[in-house]
Amino acid sequence: MDNTKDKKSASASYSAESIKVLEGLEGIRHRPAMYIGSTSKQGLHHLVYEVVDNAVDEAMGGYCDNIEVTLSSDGSVTVIDNGRGIPVDIHPVYKRPAVEIAITKLHAGGKFDKKSYVVSGGLHGVGISVVAALSKHLKVIIRRNGKIYQQEYKIGKPTYDLKVIGKTEEKDTGTEITFLPDETIFSTIKFEFSILETRFREIAFLNKGVKITLKDEEGKKKETFHYEGGLEEFVKWVNKSKEALHKPIYFTKTDKGVVVEIAVQYNSSYQENVLGFVNTINTVEGGTHVIGFRTALTRAINDYANKNSLIKNGNLSGDDVREGLTAIISVKVPEPQFEGQTKTKLGNSEIKGIVESISYSALVEFFEENPNIARRIVTKGLEAQKAREAAKKAKEIVRRKSAFSVSGLPGKLADCSKKKAEETELYIVEGDSAGGSAKQARSKDFQAVLPLKGKILNVEKANPIKVLSSEEITNLITAIGTGVGEQFDLTKLRYSKIIIMTDADVDGAHIMTLLLTFFFRFMKQLIENGNIYIAVAPLYRIRKKKYHYVFSDEELKKMMEKLGGEIAVQRFKGLGEMDSEQLWETTMNHKTRLLRKVTIEDAAIADEIFSKLMGEDVEARRQFIAERAHEAEIDI
């Protein structure tokens, strides 16, 4: 990273006057989810992101190239950067040190002063103030102007005035923030190394040359993320468990103050994996930057194919050219407009044209200079075109079957009497035996049951034509009602909850993984919309005066100690072993059952895991299982 900017002159321009205040802190503790998304695990980790994003903003401005994050054994988190240091001079309006205003006033920060940050991830200016308000204790140490300053806060309020605690060299600048989340706000205050690791890896890939170190004192773990290759390394990392077809295509250009940086690499799979970022924020719902790139890609490939007489049956569609595509699209936008409070979709209309123009020119130039790669990409698209035509016929059969009339539904489906999707749920059950028990156990008015015959096709390895010709998968698509691919329509969803219910053993886990792979690759929107669940079945039943059901070996041990004396313990090897009453009581009664909602916390990680677990690379799968075996509960 070019970190040659004069910090001293930059510090002078980044001062108390740069801190603009929009409103006070009232309400954060009453409605924390409005500011950090939730008070669960995701919201807790969002606190770290808010503090780290401030350091990243300094990095994007060229003032910082080193960020250290430490998870302390006392539950606190410390974030240290070598940026300019938060301003400490007296604010002209509020007559208090600028750092105190930034921490105690909502919507206060340098993000609203265009001279301080040209582009920024934390545009709402709520970051550090929200962290302070939701923390029992927060301490800030600033190295700036040759001095070391310190101030501490309790639930967002200063416990003493900003004070000088030492001296340092004029060039030694930066900010250190330590905070301890308030356990009365969050459902958990235990940070997970792997969640933070994923985000920091992304940030390091997106900010070439920036070094981020993550340490866990209690777990004695340490990871450093530092990528001089930037997006080229990122796209190779995403594709590492797949067979890449060529070297990465990389280009970057600035137009009208917008920095566009893109890396592209095709692999031999059938899936598209496009990751979009705006000012390092992962826009999981895409937006105008992604639309612009996709449009340019389709046009550039078709233009090359036509120019070289490679196309016979009409232009390739967008779906054709994106089969097997992995792309990272990173844009730096001075004033991004995000749709939705969680910043997951870029809305700026002008960005589409900018990204499309830059991408088209760069791709055309690359194809001309690398004809072998260009022809390989066109061939991949032509194969997809043939497969799409064949798959279209299979989808037509599925679509025709998907009528809401009973006659159009699979014969094995025991449907429910209610028809409103928001009031109904579908249990996908392994085997006829468990299916029979589930049909007897269910509440017929709102619970439907679809038994599956054996293990469904592994869609990670199979051609889409083969997938859509599978009877079990066709039954599944028909029962759900939305269709797949370009015909997918969420408004036609027949059940608000789709619940996978399998045995608590290795075979059950395999079937569950096959189903999740299908949903991830063919109906990803259902996962993103929160419609897919996993039913947690009990492993044991203990009889002492009354029946007790337990869901793990650890829970069994605790329950045995609690109950004391001799006990009759029954181990459930499969759902089919339970009678309908037991199945209802443990797994299907909506008042007492345990369900796990399936989420996609990070699309790149999810894609990698499915590729490793279900793909062709046996060695990658073996290594993944060896590394993660301690995290799983496997019954052999």
pLDDT band, residue 467 (cuts 50/70/90): confident
The residue among 504, 485, 478 whose CA lies nearest residue 587 is 504
The residue among 68, 101, 335 whose CA lies nearest residue 176 is 68
Where is 393: in which H helix or E strand? helix 371-401
Q: Give the integer Cα–Cα distance in Å for 277 and 283.
A: 5
Which residues face 330 on adjacent strands? 261, 277
Q: What angle do CA 531, 532, 535 make, to 5 degrees?
A: 130
The residue among 469, 434, 468 whose CA lies nearest residue 452 is 434
| pLDDT digits 0-9 by tens, 321-347 | 999 999 999 999 988 888 755 557 899
Among 78-87, 547-556, 598-607, the minimum mean pLDDT is found in 598-607
Q: Give the integer Cα–Cα distance in Å for 633 and 239.
A: 28
Predicted local confidence at residue 302, as pLDDT: 97
Q: Which two tokens stand for residue 171?
A: 């060039």
Q: What angle do CA 4, 10, 14 make, to 5 degrees?
A: 150
E strands of 145-199, at which residues? 147-154, 157-158, 163-167, 174-181
Domain 7-225 has CATH 2.40.50.100: no
Inform me whether the pLDDT recorded for 400 exceeds 60.
no
Q: Tell me how crowded residue 137 is: count the other CB atoms within 10 A of its CB.
A: 16
3-state secondary structure 547-602: EEEECCHHHHHHHHHHHCCCCEEEECCCHHHCCHHHHHHHHHCCCCCCEEECCCCC
Q: Which two tokens stand for residue 243?
A: 């067979």
Residues in Cβ contact with 377 at an 8 Å cutoff, skipping those fewer than 6 apart: 245, 246, 266, 301, 321, 367
Among 159-168, 376-385, 482-491, the minimum mean pLDDT is found in 482-491
Q: What does the DSSP assignment read for 287-314?
A: BHHHHHHHHHHHHHHHHHHHHTT--SSS
Measured between its terminal Cα atoms, the distance across the chain in Å is: 50
For 371, phi and psi rounded to 5 degrees? Answer: -60, -35
Among 115-119, 246-250, 322-326, 494-498, the minimum mean pLDDT is found in 115-119
Q: What is the mean pLDDT of residues 533-537?
A: 88
pLDDT band, residue 548 (cuts 50/70/90): confident
Q: Which two tokens stand for residue 212?
A: 């981020």
Tokens 């709520």 -> residue: 126
For 265, phi and psi rounded to 5 degrees? Answer: -155, 125
pLDDT band, residue 403 (cuts 50/70/90): very low
Q: Give the integer Cα–Cα distance in Å for 476 and 484.
A: 11
| pLDDT digits 0-9 by tens, 94-139 | 899 999 998 988 766 654 455 555 566 553 345 789 999 999 999 9
Most confident of 212-216, 391-395, 473-477, 625-629: 212-216
**Identity of the amino acid at 383:** E
| pLDDT digits 0-9 by tens, 591-605 | 888 888 888 766 666
Residue 435's alpha-carbon distances to 136, 222, 410, 486, in angstroms, are 51, 47, 14, 31
402-537+575-631: which CATH topology?
Rossmann fold (3.40.50)
Predicted local confidence at residue 391, as pLDDT: 67
pLDDT band, residue 61 (cuts 50/70/90): confident
- Long-range CB pairs of 397-403, under 8 A, 24+ apart, other chains included: 397/474, 398/468, 398/474, 398/477, 398/478, 398/483, 398/484, 399/483, 399/487, 401/474, 401/478, 402/477, 402/478, 402/481, 402/483, 402/492
Give domain limits for the chain.
7-225, 231-388, 402-537+575-631, 540-571
The residue among 483, 475, 528, 509 whose CA lies nearest residue 635 is 509
Among 17-21, 181-185, 299-303, the minimum mean pLDDT is found in 17-21
Domain 231-388 has CATH 3.30.230.10: yes
Q: Give the integer Cα–Cα distance in Å for 329 and 605.
A: 17
CA 265 remoteness from chain centre: 21
Residues noted as catalytic: 430, 503, 505, 507
